[in-house]
A and B are shown apart, each in its own frame.
Chain A
Amino acid sequence: MVIIPILLLLTFIIAIVKKIPLYDSFTEGIKDALKLMLNLLPYLMTIFFAIELLRASGLSAMLSKLLERPFSLLEIPKELSELLILRPLSGSGSLVVLQNIYDTYGVDSYPARVASVLMGSTDTIMYVVAVYFSSSKNKKSGLAIPISIFVSLAATFVACLLCKIM
Chain B
Amino acid sequence: MNIVFCLIIVLPVSYMLFTAPESVMPAIMTGGEAGIAFSLKLFVIYGVWMSVMKVLEKSGLDVRIAKALMPFTKKLFRGECDECLKHVNLNLSANLLGMGGAATPLGIKSVELMQSQKNKIMLVVINATSIQIIPTTILSMRAAMGATTDIMLPTLFINVLSTAFAIALVELLVKK
A interface list, Cβ under 8 A from B: 1, 3-4, 7-8, 11, 14-15, 18, 20, 22, 25-26, 28-30, 32-34, 36-37, 40-41, 44-59, 89-90, 95-96, 98-99, 102, 107-108, 113, 116-117, 119-126, 128-129, 131-138, 140-145, 147-148, 150-152, 154-155, 158-159, 162-163, 166
Residues of B within 8 Å of A50, CB to CB, are 5, 8-9, 12, 31
Instruction: Name, among B8, B61, B132, B169, the residue most crowded by chain A CB atoms within 10 Å (CB to CB).
Output: B8
Q: Which residue from chain B places its CB closest to the CB of A29 in the assembled complex? A: B51
**A54 contacts B162, C-beta separation under 8 Å:** no
Give the docked Cα–Cα distance between A163 and B149 (Å): 10
If A8-B52, A59-B15, A141-B124 are given as contacts, then 5 extra A-B residue pairs at C-beta distance below 8 Å, sorted by A number, are A7-B52, A8-B48, A44-B35, A143-B173, A155-B158
Tell me the B131-176 residues at the A interface (CB within 8 Å): 132, 134-143, 145-155, 157-159, 161-162, 165-166, 169-170, 173-174
B interface list, Cβ under 8 A from A: 1, 4-5, 8-9, 11-13, 15-16, 19-20, 23-24, 26-28, 30-32, 34-36, 38-39, 42-43, 46-56, 58-59, 61, 101, 104, 107-109, 111-112, 114, 117, 120-121, 123-125, 127-130, 132, 134-143, 145-155, 157-159, 161-162, 165-166, 169-170, 173-174
Residues of A within 8 Å of B31, CB to CB, are 45, 48-53
**B111 contacts A135, C-beta separation under 8 Å:** yes
Give the docked Cα–Cα distance between A100 and B68 (Å): 39
Contact of A143 (CB < 8 Å), options: B23, B43, B121, B134: B121
| Pairs across A and B, CB under 8 Å, 28 listed | A3-B134, A15-B59, A20-B59, A29-B51, A32-B50, A34-B47, A36-B101, A45-B32, A49-B32, A50-B12, A52-B30, A57-B13, A57-B15, A113-B154, A120-B132, A120-B152, A121-B135, A122-B129, A123-B129, A129-B128, A132-B104, A132-B107, A133-B111, A136-B120, A138-B120, A143-B173, A145-B128, A162-B157
Looking at chain B's contact residues, is the secondary structure mostly helix, strand, loop, or mixed? helix
Instruction: Name, among A148, A154, A163, the residue most crowded by chain B CB atoms within 10 Å (CB to CB).
Output: A148
Residues of A within 8 Å of B35, CB to CB, are 41, 44-45, 47-49, 96
Give the docked Cα–Cα distance between A155 and B166 (Å): 11
Given contacts A45-B35, A96-B38, A116-B151, contact A136 B130 (CB under 8 A): no
**A29 contacts B52, C-beta separation under 8 Å:** yes
Given contacts A7-B52, A11-B52, A58-B19, contact A147 B42 (CB under 8 A): no
Given contacts A129-B124, A162-B154, contact A55 B42 (CB under 8 A): no
Give the docked Cα–Cα distance between A142 and B55 (Å): 38
Given contacts A133-B111, A155-B161, contact A99 B128 (CB under 8 A): no
Residues of B within 8 Å of A46, CB to CB, are 5
Contact of B46 (CB < 8 Å), options: A14, A33, A136: A33
